[in-house]
Amino acid sequence: MAMRQTPLTCSGHTRPVVDLAFSGITPYGYFLISACKDGKPMLRQGDTGDWIGTFLGHKGAVWGATLNKDATKAATAAADFTAKVWDAVSGDELMSLAHKHIVKTVDFTQDSNYLLTGGQDKLLRIYDLNKPEAEPEEVSGHTSGIKKALWCGGDRHILSADEKTVRLWDHATMTEVKSLNFSMSVSSVEYVPEGEILVITYGRSIAFHSAASLDPIKSFEAPATINSASLHREKEFLVAGGEDFKLYKYDYSSGEELESYKGHFGPIHCVRFSPDGELYASGSEDGTLRLWQTVVGKTYGLWKCVLPEEDSGELTKPKMSFPETAEEELEEIASENSDSIYSSTPEVKA
């Protein structure tokens, strides 16, 4: 029975959404933070996209955002030369960490005691959040602005990427262990703890490497320039998005394209799977986030399967129920009728 992917659209941002991050699963569900060039990072309920709050305080575009594992703290990286740490429950700013240039990336250790930052000044910095007055540890070695910096290997190592290089660092000795060089600009890096896998995108390529050694595992070629990719935690499939406005889903084992969807009205800048793997989120140049079902046809969150009913031997016409603000957009997204259809009633908040 044919199924149609119907994404939930999360509006509210006024400029391109450039980074996304999910929390771990907490007693209250899981959460999603978005970084945007409007300078106003937003927190949402992860499985529905419902807006919870906006972190106010940055005076420039926000390039990176993350949540700690239990979603009690948030961190953001911005063009105002600061990284900020927030109370994710109250929304209060806890500290503002001054840098010498634009900050692009932030990441908490698993215990939330340390924050890793990177940016245009080519330095990695490690802040002890229990000693905010102390100077951060600094790691040099990059030759261009740092796009992404992540803890890995139980926080014993650091992965970082600049324009065309990905580097692996030993945290204890603060020295470089190994590096990878690419012929074109690295557009994104994702660390998957399950299996210690590194997902790197550059040009039309999606490459997988060991996070422990940087040794290559496999790579796929997409039909368009890819800006971001995310691997499902069970390593069955991956999703990717880029310059052609489409989301692609691939079989991880074979590299076969399983599905592709067009929903955004601009290039896709970031894609991430939720911690339970039931959905993935995308952020775009069009200023929206969209939530997509990993398995189309499953009742989950705000998605509900509505099957045609049998009446006098004939199938009744399937019906959809959506908020008025989404009807016109969904009509543009839907390109054909399906035998089974999904209705959802997301509350889209600005």
Contacts of 254 (CB under 8 A, 6+ apart): none
pLDDT of residue 2: 59
Sign of CA dihedral 193, 198, 201, 206: negative
Contacts of 27 (CB under 8 A, 6+ apart): none
Please give the distance of CA 69 from its chain centroid, rounded to a whole number: 15
Side-chain half-sphere exposure of 208, counting CA atoms within 13 A: 19
**pTM, 2 dp:** 0.86
Place of tokens 């004939």: 314
pLDDT of residue 240: 97
Q: Indicate the residue type of 47.
A: D
Contacts of 269 (CB under 8 A, 6+ apart): 16, 17, 18, 19, 227, 228, 241, 283, 284, 285
Ranges of residues in the chain whose predicted pLDDT is under 70: 1-2, 307-350
Place of tokens 């009633």: 345
| Contact (CB, 8 A) for 31 and 52 | yes
Dihedral pair phi/psi, residue 122, rounded to 5°: 70, 10
